[in-house]
Amino acid sequence: MIFPLAVFLLQMGSSRCGLPFYNGFYYDRVMNDKGDTSGEVQFSGVKLMVETSPEAIYTHRGANITLPCHYHYAPKLHVPRKIRVKWSKLREDNTKEQDVLVASGSKHRSFGEFRGRTWLLQASSQEASLVIHDLRLRDSGKYRCEVIDGLEDESGIVDLELQGVVFPFQPHHGRYMLNFHEAKKACEEQDAVIASFGQLFKSWMDGLDWCNAGWLIDGTVQYPITVPREPCGGKDMAPGLRNYGERHKNLHRFDVFCFSSALKGTVYYLTGHQKLTLEEAKQACQDDGAEIAKVGQLYSAWKLVGLDRCDAGWLADGSVRYPITSPRPNCGPPEPGVRSFGFPKVGKFGVYCYKMS
């Protein structure tokens, strides 16, 4: 993008010498045939270039990371120029970008949930990398590094991905009960966030097969099928994500796909107890200095820590599940997974607790 330069600057410059020259930059004066001096000025000859990481950066919740961004001028400048840097986060639904940080000289300011945990890293003279501490689930996505030099404005994109696990979620009151807003909230209540298309796609590649449609963060409703079958989009369709497209966020109701990443604490099956009701189970975890585990926490422990336990236990949403990484007889199907007993109205079970470490 090219910004107009104040006219007087150029006129001063060009009146003093033949070739307009200012601070290492060449300018062309653009005039129409009538010699109109209305003053559209273009900057040419020197190009500002911004370079970011072409590869996605993979990390996990809780990590401290640097999103690399460097800039330079071509041809090279000998006089350093004052620049401003702006980092923003692209939104999944392509609405307005979210401000992350702006910096000018040694001053910088970060915004919203990025306040207090983002900095600009200027280890070398033409660096404008972004440091983010204590990554949250919502931090994953694409970031724009924008360098503004007053004349030119160039940007590059960095893709930040969290390693984690996608799981389908349906609340205790049944299938297809959540509108988009409720779906988002349901994931958050399970220590997770609503999944992105990229996250669901990656899970499908890893073998996720689920025949109930769920919301994604971009407002579409989809489900992943690895073994095509009649009730799941048809036997003759290729494996893939079945897509219902964008749905009305208030009126339409489905399940949801949630995403979770590494945990700060630990999930464990509480031993040394008789079988419990849900209320007793919550209390038993508290008595152990912990809390009853959320669904996202059990999935995270299963996928990222390899939790394997053939004992059904209560979770915070009122479901009963158990995590299997090494499938064996009497512990569910031959594939690894988190097995679910649904939401039992009667009966006693064990419990999975979550303790902060």
Ligand X SMILES: *[C@@H]1O[C@H](CO)[C@@H](O)[C@H](O)[C@H]1NC(C)=O
Which residues contact ligand X by CB under 6 A? 62-64, 133
Q: Which is nearer to ligand X, 121 or 211 (CB)?
A: 121
> Do 310 and 330 contact (CB within 8 A), yes or no?
yes
Distance of alpha carbon 240 from alpha carbon 235, whole angstroms: 12
Closer of 63 and 310 to ligand X (Cβ)? 63
CB of 167 to ligand X, least distance (A): 24
Distance CA 31, CA 122 (A): 39
User: 266 and 298 in contact (C-beta within 8 Å)?
Assistant: no
- Indicate the residue whose CB is closest to ligand X: 64
Nearer to ligand X, 115 or 133 (CB): 133
Report DSSP letters for 104-119, one per residue: ETTEEEE-GGGTTSEE
Give the sign of the dihedral formed by CA 330, CA 335, CA 336, CA 338. Answer: negative
Taking the complex as a whole, how short is the minimal distance between the CB of residue 262 and ligand X, in angstroms?
10
d(CA 322, CA 212): 20
Q: How far is the CB of 137 from ligand X (least distance, A)?
A: 15
Tell me the two tokens of residue 92: 């999944």
Q: Select 64 or 286, whichever has its Cβ closest to ligand X.
A: 64
CB 285 within 8 A of CB 267: no
Q: How far is the CB of 59 from ligand X (least distance, A)?
A: 10
* DSSP one-letter code for 127: B
Nearer to ligand X, 140 or 220 (CB): 140
Minimum CB separation of residue 67 from ligand X in Å reads: 15
